[in-house]
Copies of this chain bind each other. A is one copy, B any other.
Amino acid sequence: MTLQGWTLPQSATGRSSIVAAPPWHYSGEIIAVDFTAPPDAVAALLPKGLSPTPEGSASVVFADWCSASDNDDRVIADPAIGQYREAYLVLHAVRGDRKVGRVPFIWVDSELSLLRGQIQGFPKKLGQIAMTRPVAIGRGGVRKEEGSLFAAHASSHGRRVLTAQVRIEAQTERLPKAATLPLVHTRLFPSIDRSEPSVHELQLGTIANFECGTIYTGSAKLELGPTEYEEIGSLGPVKVGAGYVFSMAFSVLGGKVEPL
């Protein structure tokens, strides 16, 4: 019969598929740290057409997401499906006359997000992510306020790939770069019967409903790697900049594709 489903596994109804087609909606708690890396090392992770900034600027982002899908109401209904944590690097880059972001490495703790990401060109691997979560009452945790320490780390195959912390010092109106640079992804799906890939193209997400809550900023610490599986050791960090703690939300309506 004609099997249904936006992704595998397909079935008569399409209800077994891991990912349903967009629109997708995201509400998350973010811990981010700006840093600089050797521009050469940044360049070695950028696709043709993107150049590093002169100072090699970049960010690390940790996100604790709730997500929803217009075409699958189980994503918002079942917390085991829609919720996940991820951690990633954003290299700040220039493409023509436009400032863009590029995600060379990203780890996530969810099957849905892993595959939903691969379809968009996020190079998602599995990882374990821990992030300080503010509490509303009591002494078991910290408040999202001046003086609080927010920590986050990510590991993969038992190696700590990212370790960060932010000591909140103030509120700010300035949106962190990591939240505003449009991301340029590479969609890549290999062929199995020849050497050139079946899909190999650039992709820019069509984003709507972008929103941030109060943005807290402060001093930060950051450690990259070591790991034998991702080439992040070369990125330093050379200099660690400001850290940020904030809520962020947006929708992905689809994407725009361009040749490599």
Residues of A within 8 A of B (CB): 1-3, 5-13, 15-16, 18-19, 21-22, 25-28, 43-48, 65-68, 74, 76-83, 104-106, 111, 114-115, 118-126, 128, 130-133, 135-142, 149, 151-155, 157-160, 186-193, 195, 198-199, 203, 209, 211-213, 228-231, 247-251, 254-257
Contact = CB atoms under 8 A, between A and B. Distances in A.
A174 B140 CA distance: 24
B27 A139 contact: yes
Contact of A79 (B26, B44, B152, B198): B152
A3 to B, nearest CB: 5
A27 B135 contact: yes
A8 B66 contact: no
29 contacts: A3-B47, A7-B188, A8-B118, A8-B121, A8-B122, A11-B104, A15-B231, A18-B125, A26-B138, A27-B137, A28-B138, A28-B140, A68-B140, A74-B228, A78-B157, A82-B141, A111-B114, A111-B125, A114-B114, A119-B189, A119-B190, A135-B249, A138-B247, A138-B249, A153-B158, A158-B158, A187-B198, A189-B198, A192-B254
Contacts of A114: 111, 114
A44 B133 CA distance: 36
Contacts of A25: 138-140
B186 A3 contact: yes
A151 B27 contact: no
B1 A140 contact: no
A9 B255 contact: no
A188 B45 contact: no
A231 B4 CA distance: 12
B189 A79 contact: no
B105 A9 contact: yes
